[in-house]
Every structure is written in structure tokens, then in C-alpha cells.
Amino acid sequence: MAEKRTVTTENATGLKNINNLILVGIMMAVGVVLRLCAGFLVLGNMHPNFLIATYCLSILIIKPNVKEAAVIGFISGCISQIGTSMAWIGLGSETIGAIAMCLLVSLPLPKVAKALVTTAITTLISGFAFTGLAAITYANPMPMAQFLNMAIVTVVTAALNCVIVTILSIPVDKVMNKD
């Protein structure tokens, strides 16, 4: 008599899961469209950085490993080259931000608090990495007024991004059937 076959499935995590890969692709596409079309969401002269918000949301939901998060950040950095006045800086700042988000997702916080805290910290890290790289690359030394302006933009962007990600994380999490 033949042995009964059993099939075991292992849930792929991170970018190894096709659904997660599709989610990241959709989030990046949404980030591009919003970056190009959503000039109406302006607070003063500042607006959310939708690419940071979309990779934060993606990483929060799919929980990739550090290498996969770096790839997500690098792709976001490539996309950020569209319409930037400071070429190539986004490659570094977005990669650093995505790695930070990946590491922060493991914080033992309730879901809503995790979305708020991790996105705010990630945006601050990415924004100040951008500011630091800009200071080194384009404005060495950077005038204090320019630094303060970029710092204010970074803080306001962090506040806007954490609200966006927190609101969207609940329905996206349910759609993806994650815990």
C-alpha cells in the first residue's frame, strides 16, 4: 500500500511572496502618481513625501528582511529622481529610510502606534539623511537658514506621512490578511 501524500505549504515572507511583491509594486506606483499629481495636498510650502509613505506602508505590512527593505528603498530612491533638483541624493536617503523602517517594524507596539511611530521616525531619518547628503554634496557648508528650512520640511513631512500610513495601514492590512 502506498503512503498517503501530504502537502505542506510554507508561507513565503517578504518579497518572496508574490502577493507581497505585487503590493510593493502597487504602492510604488501609487507613490509615483501621487508625487506627480497631488500638488493639492500642500501645507504651507510642504507636502507629504508619498514615496516614503508608500514604502513605509509596504514594509509595515509585508515585514521584509533588511536586504529586501534596502531594495525597496533603492527603488524608491530611483523613482525620487523624477523631478528632483538634487540628483542622486534620494538613492541614499530612501535606502537608509527603508532599512530604518525594516528595523523599527520589530518594535513591540500596538498596530496603530507602530504605524505612527515607525513612519514618523523613518521619515525623520530619511529626511535628515537627505539634508546631510545635500549639505555634503551641494551646499558645503550649508547655510543655517537652509538647514533650518529643510529641517522644518522634514518634521512636517514626518507628521503628514505618519497620518497617511496609519490611516491606510488598517484597510491594507485587512486586504492582505495579515495579523
Task: Compute how many other C-beta atoms are within 10 angstroms of the C-beta atom of residue 170.
Answer: 12
Nearest to 102 by CA among 128, 73, 138, 74: 73
Mean pLDDT of 38-56: 77
Is 130 a domain residue?
A: yes
| Cα–Cα dist 43/88, whole Å | 26
Is 125 a domain residue?
A: yes
54: pLDDT strictly greater than 90: yes
Task: Compute how many other C-beta atoms are within 10 angstroms of the C-beta atom of residue 175.
Answer: 11
- 46 forms beta bridges with 43
Question: In this structure, what DSSP letter does residue 40 have?
Answer: T
CA 113 to chain centre: 16
Is 2 a domain residue?
A: no
Nearest to 97 by CA among 80, 74, 116, 78: 74
Is 8 a domain residue?
A: no
Rounded (5°) CA angle 84-87-93:
90
Residue ranges making up the domain that contains 111: 14-36+46-175
In the chain, how many domains are there? 1
178: pLDDT strictly greater than 60: no
Is 5 a domain residue?
A: no
145: pLDDT strictly greater than 60: yes
What is 91-110 written as a DSSP string? Answer: HHHHHHHHHHHHHHTTS---
Is 151 a domain residue?
A: yes
pLDDT at 46: 65
2: pLDDT strictly greater than 70: yes
Identity at 7, one-letter amino acid code? V
| Cα–Cα dist 128/38, whole Å | 23
Quick: pLDDT tens for 128-140: 999 999 888 887 7
Mean pLDDT of 149-174: 90
Kindly report the CATH number assigned to the domain that includes residue 124.
1.10.1760
* pTM of this structure: 0.86
Is 3 a domain residue?
A: no
